[in-house]
Structures are given as structure tokens and as C-alpha cells.
Amino acid sequence: MLRRIFGIETEYGVTFSWQGQRRLSPDEVSRFLFRKVVAWGRSSNVFLENGGRLYLDVGSHPEYATAECDSLTDLVAQDKAGESILRELVDYAERELAEDGARGSIFLFKNNTDSAGNSYGCHENYAIERIDDLSRLEQVFIPFLVTRQIFAGAGKVVASPRGTAFAMSQRAEHIWESISSATTRSRPIINTRDEPHADPERFRRLHVIVGDSNMNEFATMLKVGTAAVVLAMVEDKTTILRDYNLAAPISALREVSYDLWGKDSLKLASGRDMSAIEIQEDLCERAERFVESRETPAEFPGVVRAWRAVLEDYRADPMRLADRVDWIAKYQMIDRARERDGLALDDARIALIDLLYHDTDLARGLFYSHQRRGHAQRVVDDDQVIAAASVPPPTTRARMRGAFIRVAKQYRRDYTVDWVHLKLNDELQRTVLLKDPFEAHDDRFERLLSSLERRTGRAPS
């Protein structure tokens, strides 16, 4: 499978502050945050006109899932649109709270850990071929995920019995298995629960839950783009790949996270040793040959070139990547603060920098200050993000879902949707089942839409 459907689910952290004090629990804040969502769809779990999904997850975490995308540009725009949509809810909730006498600020963080040590995820979904033998994933894709922290990590100051240290990844400390059907108690790198949200005889949804939430658009693009290239090589049985199977993948995940400068080797199951950067370089070299030797999606060559440039800069001087890699940008901010003010790594002011890097408020967040100064590479512009908040990707199934929701709301019709179903809740209970996520057009859908517009007795709102 060369053309790939992918998407990102992001859980956000929330807190409320009034004069420096917390007055409301995250649960209370989230209930105010989702009042407007409930008004949209009578539920705190709704699909949106842009084809994405917004809901309140376990632990009072707002979660936004992008629509199905087959373009990295669309994916990045959809991901950033999620931040924009939630910022609107924050503004609404702050006004509601003020009317209730609780004047203060809601902080919405796109990160993966809280002060109590809890972790919440940024999950990637990839449509893959219906395969039952996952051995090539274990030999190639898991080592790729373990070592991609070099460019995909969001960075974290971690306190442990051994002391305080800076790590590449926020999620590495919270992953306990390689492949499993669990998601919370024993989080795996890859979740195997078989929910394809598509034709189960043709597709499998690969659910990757090891990744960090990225603020930097380039990091999001490269994280998903390189994964798509590697998956294409894994699925192509004619592509010869090394067996990079790690002797202890979870230990390796943590080792890479703390090995900021790539000095340590990882033990492979074969007995060989390779460092994280060596595994990435070897995979990138094979990817270069892969995109040169066959017809691939138009984005693949650019992704592979960007991958190579990042690895070369990391080899030469990791600090060159502050415009593309979140953990390095954050490391520099913390390093400057420590040098300027003589702070220890475990100082509370350092912890605040660590947290505020992920503040999604455009005026207050440290990442957005970094970006405003031109220090972060962008993949999309503000107009594309604004459009993606209401317009679905035009080349996938999401186009039909978004259009159905928009027209049903316009004519004030009662409806139900999920990833594969579009249903009008009327006396006929007309339903369209969309089992192919790659299809943006379907005659059954067009008939349902024209029927909705033709048969309603109401004027559009």
C-alpha cells in the first residue's frame, strides 16, 4: 500500500488558575469546556464539519481526532485546527465561568504528562494491508519507532530516584510492552486491538500509541511521513530490510530517550549493536533507494530528503535542529534559563518552562513565541489551519462525512455519524455505510444528500 490513510488523536491537559491558585478540578473545567460541544450535538462526543471528532476522554482530557488524511499537509493542518477549535472552547468556557463568579484562566496543554505523573497520549493511526503476520513490524517498524525520538520527541524534565534529567520523550517512561491490545494499564508501542473503521477484509488500522504530542509542525510531518515510508517498505516484500529487532525494546526506548547526543549502542536480538542514529540512518538509506526505484506518492521523496537532512544535522550538531525538533527547542530554552539565572534542573521555574512550552495559547505559549520569532519551520500557514477547522480533506472519506454533517445541520435534521456510518434519524432511517476510507465520492452518499435537501420542509438555518 503506497497511498496511505493516516490520522492523529491528541489528548490535551487542562487546568484552571485564578490569581495563581487552582480553584476547579480538571473534571469541572472540562465540563464547562464541553458545554458548547453538548449544545452542538447533545453529547460530549461529536463529529465535526471538518470530518474530525471531538470528545471528552477518560481522566477529563479533551481529545481531538483528525479526519482521515492521505496528505501530510492536510494532516498537519487538521492537527493544528484541533488546537484552534479547542482554543475557541476555552474562550467560551472562560466566559461561562466568569458568569458563574469564577474569573480566571483555563490552560490547555498539548503535552503528555501532568504534575501527578499521569500520562495521556498522542496516537497515530495508519491504514495498512490486512495482514496477520506482524513479524516484519517487530523486526523493522518497532525499532524505527523506538529510535525516531531523535526527531519526534517533545522533551521532558524527568525526576527519578537517580536524579533529575532531561529526556527526549514524554511517553517513553510510560510504555511497558512492544505489541499488545492494552492501552492504559500496560501501554504498548503498538496497540493491536482490531478496529479498522473500514472494510475488515481489506484493511487493518495500525494504532501507534508511543508518540509524543508535537507542537512543531515539521516534527508532526516528519513523524508521520517517515512512518508512512517505512510501512510502505515493510509491506513491500521485495524490499530487503535488515532485522533490527531489539533485544529489549522497552529498555531501549528509555535508553534512547535519555541518550540526547546519540552516544550509546542498543543491543539487537541478533547480538549485534547499533545506536539509535545508526538504525535511523540505515533505514533512511534504504528509503532513499526505495523512492528512487519505484513510483511512490508525491510526498515521499520530500519526506526522505527532510529525514536525511535531520539525521545529518543531528550527527553534526543536534542544536541545529531547534527549528524542527521540539525536544531540542525546549532544551535550548531550559539551558538558557539555567545559565541566565543559575537554576538547577529540578527548580520549579524550569518545570514551568517545561510545561508552558506546550501551552496552546498563541500569546502565552512558549512554543508559539519561538515560532513568532521565525525560529520554527512551518508546514502550513494560518489560512490553511483556519480552513481545516471547518473543511474536511477533499480526497478521503472524510469529505462525505463533513458535507453530510454540514448539510444536516443547515437543514436542522437529526443525524448520527461515526467513522463509517452516515444516518438520518427520520422515519426511513436512511443509512450509508462507507467502508473504504480512500473513497471521497459515492453515489449512495450523493443520493442521500440530495434526498435530505429535497425532502425537508424546513428552510436552511
Residue with cell 521555574: 349
**pLDDT at position 76 over 60:** yes
Asked if residue 314 and residue 236 are part of one domain, the reply reads yes
Q: Is residue 324 part of a domain?
A: yes
Asked if residue 143 and residue 284 are part of one domain, the reply reads yes
Q: Is residue 139 part of a domain?
A: yes
* Whole-number pLDDT of residue 165: 97
* Whole-number pLDDT of residue 162: 80
**CA count, 13 A, side-chain hemisphere, 315:** 12
Asked if residue 231 and residue 336 are part of one domain, the reply reads yes
Most confident of 1-5, 232-236, 379-383: 379-383
DSSP string, 145-159: HHHTHHHH---EEEE
The rounded distance, in Å, linking the Cα atoms of 109 and 116 is 15
User: What mean pLDDT do residues 326-352 have?
Assistant: 98
Distances (CA, A) of 46 to 56, 62, 123, 390: 10, 12, 18, 14
Determine how many CB atoms are found less than 10 A away from the CB of residue 202.
14
Buried b (16+ CB within 10 A) or exposed e, 426-450: eeeebebebbbbbebebeebeebbe
* Whole-number pLDDT of residue 53: 97
Q: Is residue 35 part of a domain?
A: no
Closest to 182 measured CA to CA, from 209, 200, 204, 205: 209
Q: Residues 247-274: pLDDT tens digits?
A: 999 999 999 999 999 999 999 999 999 9
Q: Supply the range of the domain harboring residue 409.
A: 397-455
Q: Is residue 21 part of a domain?
A: no
**Are residues 33 and 390 in contact, defined by beta-carbon separation less than 8 angstroms?**
no
Asked if residue 317 and residue 230 are part of one domain, the reply reads yes
What is the percentage of the chain residues whose pLDDT exceeds 70?
Answer: 96
Cα torsion angle, 22, 27, 31, 37, sign: positive
Give 7's pLDDT tier (boundaries 50, 70, 90): very high
**pLDDT at position 184 over 90:** no
* Domain final position from 357, 387, 408: 357
Q: Which three cell numbers stand for residue 60?
A: 477529563
The rounded distance, in Å, linking the Cα atoms of 356 and 150 is 22
Give 460's pLDDT tier (boundaries 50, 70, 90): low
Higher-pLDDT residue of 162 and 19 is: 162
* Domain final position from 357, 388, 421: 357
Q: Which amino acid is at 371?
A: Q
- Parallel, antiparallel, or unpaired: how do β-strands 188-191 and 177-180 relate? parallel
Asked if residue 433 and residue 296 are part of one domain, the reply reads no
Q: Which three cell numbers stand for residue 447?
A: 443520493
Q: Residues 292-311: pLDDT tens digits?
A: 999 999 999 999 999 999 99
User: What mean pLDDT do residues 202-231 have?
Assistant: 97
Q: Is residue 424 part of a domain?
A: yes
Secondary structure element (H or E) that encloses residue 460, with its range: none
Q: Is residue 385 part of a domain?
A: no
**Are residues 57 and 65 in contact, defined by beta-carbon separation less than 8 angstroms?**
no
* Whole-number pLDDT of residue 427: 82
Asked if residue 280 and residue 329 are part of one domain, the reply reads yes
**pLDDT at position 28 over 90:** no
Instruction: Bin 342: left if φ > 0, else alpha if -120 < ψ < 50, else beta.
Output: left
Asked if residue 401 and residue 332 are part of one domain, the reply reads no
User: What mean pLDDT do residues 431-451 have?
Assistant: 95
Higher-pLDDT residue of 135 and 423 is: 423
**Are residues 196 and 208 in contact, defined by beta-carbon separation less than 8 angstroms?**
no
Asked if residue 451 and residue 329 are part of one domain, the reply reads no
The rounded distance, in Å, linking the Cα atoms of 454 and 142 is 51
Asked if residue 350 and residue 431 are part of one domain, the reply reads no
Q: Is residue 89 part of a domain?
A: no
* Whole-number pLDDT of residue 125: 97
**pLDDT at position 56 over 60:** yes
User: What mean pLDDT do residues 282-292 have?
Assistant: 97
Secondary structure element (H or E) that encloses residue 312, with its range: helix 299-316
The answer to whether 57 is a known catalytic residue is yes
Q: Which residues pair with 260 in a beta bridge?
A: none
**Are residues 172 and 237 in contact, defined by beta-carbon separation less than 8 angstroms?**
no
Closest to 290 measured CA to CA, from 311, 279, 276, 304: 304
Domain count, the chain: 2
**pLDDT at position 20 over 70:** no
* Domain final position from 297, 329, 357: 357
**CA count, 13 A, side-chain hemisphere, 319:** 6
Closest to 433 measured CA to CA, from 129, 200, 127: 200
Asked if residue 412 and residue 327 are part of one domain, the reply reads no
* Whole-number pLDDT of residue 86: 97
Q: Is residue 203 part of a domain?
A: no
What is the percentage of the chain residues whose pLDDT exceeds 90?
Answer: 79
Asked if residue 443 and residue 316 are part of one domain, the reply reads no
Q: Which amino acid is at 143?
A: P
* Whole-number pLDDT of residue 55: 94
Asked if residue 446 and residue 347 are part of one domain, the reply reads no
Give 458's pLDDT tier (boundaries 50, 70, 90): low
Give 183's pLDDT tier (boundaries 50, 70, 90): low
Instruction: State the DSSP code for 67.
Output: P
Mean pLDDT rounded to a whole number for the chain: 93
Q: Which residues pair with 106 in a beta bridge?
A: 16
Catalytic residue among 57, 243, 282, 436: 57
Phi and psi at 120, nearest 5°, equal -135, 155
